[in-house]
Chains A and B, each alone.
Chain A
Amino acid sequence: MKISGCVEEIINSRNLLSSILAEEAITQIKRGRVNKPNVIWIESTGCSGNTISLLNANFPDVVYLLNNMINLKFSNSLMTCEGEEAFEIFLETIKGEFILVVEGAISTRENGLFNVIASYKGKKITALEAVKLSGNKAKHVIAVGTCASFGGVSKANPNPSESKSAKEILGRDVINLPGCPSHPDWIIGTLAYLITNGAIELDAEGRPLLFYGFTIHDFCPRRTYFNNRIFAQNVGEPYCMFRLGCRGPVTRTDCPTRKWNSGVNWPIGDNTPCIGCANAYFPDGMEPFIRL
């Protein structure tokens, strides 16, 4: 079974998958079997949510990740360099081998002028330009968050910035890690897997099967209520929220076992229906979020 690791991970619900993957990657880097990859993180037309989510990572935490697993060469939000100096690092990095991480959809209106990420020698560098410049040279492109993966909130109707997903812009294989935001474990786990194995098994929508192999409904703690047709009539009732518009059955993530905020809780654990934030049709196709 190719996804046996994933099944085990979910059944055991110990959520150690990404930390095991990260440990393995770090060990291999230390032994010199693989190189510590350069990573460029371009924050495009988004809300920085995925950066914030990444900062919330633990086992391994983000400092450990940055020190031991990757060389984060460029990140609009996290890097300490600024201005032209920062963009020079970007230009230097894309000459070699690197992994590109795109956060947020990419605005294409007015040639991308709605999202300028740098100014270099008097010229405004748009996110569109930067993604195009680096996207085709990158070893892997990881689209982090629903916006980068499928357009998400940035592309929602009426889409004034004419945003597009990373795949639409680049036209090459992109590893999609949807979620609003993407879970830090998904990001770190995928990076670690790519470092050690070179490639990761994806589904038809470009999502790693490791983290997106099952629907939320499959492992929902309230699944027995659904099977016995016991439905919540109103928010706050501790039963199946399917009749309130829960999108668990159409959303593929491992939220029920991984949970959020360092594994503290998740929407259904807090009596809120799933709004399908990791779905390709989020948010337009997932509305109404609650139907009473």
Chain B
Amino acid sequence: MEDINKIKEDLERILERIRELYSMEFLALCPIEKEYYKNMIIDSIDGACLKLEEALKILRQNEEKRELREFTLDELANFDGTNGKPAYVAVNGIVYDVTLIASWGGGSHFGVLAGRDVTDEYNKCHEGKDKLSKLEVVGTLKGSNL
């Protein structure tokens, strides 16, 4: 949290600086000077963006990792995306969360339903393509070799 607070202070300082530059730009008479202050403002905004990225990085690190659990096929069948339940699918023994993946509307994906082991379907359509790294892992499938 300390890091975040520090970034917040930095951002406030940048905002202060931008305000200052803005009034200087307003008061300047020479067009070249005006241009100079404008560039300074853009540089400050760039700096602020970098600070925000830093903050995001810290937040992501702090984000609690979901506890991985073990699913049996019966348990997995509950997570089929219906009635507001999450949609999970298993591929090669690993269970992934596909609830909010754009192509998985309503827990179904080009005729494949969630809540099942979809290894065969996955290999048939996406073999050699890395589609899994973007998905969030929620656990493993019980009885799988992995």
Binding site for B on A (CB under 8 A): 217, 229, 231, 233, 242-250, 273, 281, 284-288, 290-292
Residues of the B chain whose Cβ atoms lie less than 8 Å from the Cβ of A286: 110-111
Alpha-carbon separation in the docked complex, A233 to B85 (Å): 10
In the bound complex, residues from chain B placing their C-beta under 8 Å from that of A242 are 100, 105-106
User: Are A249 and B105 interface neighbours, CB within 8 A?
Assistant: yes
How far is B99's CA from A127's CA once the two chains are assembled, in angstroms?
Answer: 44
Q: How far is the CA of A146 from the CA of B106 in the complex (A)?
A: 23
| B110 near A249: Cβ-Cβ < 8 Å | no
Which residues does chain B contribute within 8 Å of A292, judged by CB atoms? 82-83
Q: Mask for B100-115, Cβ within 8 A of A = 1, else 0?
A: 1011011110110000
Given pairs A242-B106, A243-B106, A288-B108, 5 additional interface contacts (CB within 8 A): A243-B99, A243-B105, A273-B106, A290-B106, A291-B82
The minimal Cβ–Cβ distance linking A243 to chain B, given in whole angstroms, is 6
Instruction: State the Cβ distance, A33 to closest chain B Cβ, in Å.
Output: 44
29 CB-based A-B contacts, threshold 8 Å: A217-B102, A231-B84, A233-B83, A243-B84, A243-B99, A243-B105, A243-B106, A244-B105, A244-B106, A245-B105, A245-B106, A245-B108, A246-B105, A247-B105, A248-B105, A249-B103, A250-B102, A250-B103, A273-B105, A273-B106, A284-B111, A285-B110, A287-B108, A287-B111, A288-B108, A291-B81, A291-B106, A291-B107, A291-B108
Residue of B nearest to A215 (CB): B102
* Interface residue tally on B, bucketed by range: 10 to 19
Cβ contacts B109-127/A at 8 Å (1 or 0 each): 0110000000000000000
Among residues of B, the one whose C-beta sits closest to the C-beta of A217 is: B102
The docked-state distance in angstroms from the alpha carbon of A283 to that of B111 is 9
Residues of B bordering A, CB below 8 Å:
81-84, 99-100, 102-103, 105-108, 110-111
Bound-state Cα–Cα, A143 to B76, Å: 42
Of the listed residues B81, B102, B105, the one surrounded by the most CB atoms of chain A closer than 10 A to its CB is B105
Bound-complex Cα distance A273 to B105 (A): 10
Tell me the nearest residue of chain B to A243, going by C-beta: B106
B106→A246 contact, CB < 8 A: yes
Min CB distance B104 to A, Å, is: 9
What residue of chain B has the Cβ atom nearest to residue A247's Cβ? B105
B residues in contact with A281, CB < 8 Å: 110-111
B115: shortest Cβ distance to chain A, in Å? 11
Which of A233, A248, A273, A291 lies at the interface centre, i.e. has the most chain B CB atoms within 10 A of its CB? A291
The 3 closest A-B CB pairs, nearest first, are A245-B106, A291-B106, A249-B102
Question: What is the bound-complex CA distance between A229 and B82, given in angstroms?
Answer: 15
Q: Say whether B111 contacts A285, CB under 8 Å.
A: yes
A274 closest partner in B (C-beta): B105
A248 to B106 CA separation, bound complex (whole angstroms): 12
**Shortest CB distance A249–B (Å):** 4
Give the complex CA separation of A231 and B83 in angstroms.
11
List B contacts of A287 (CB < 8 A).
108, 111
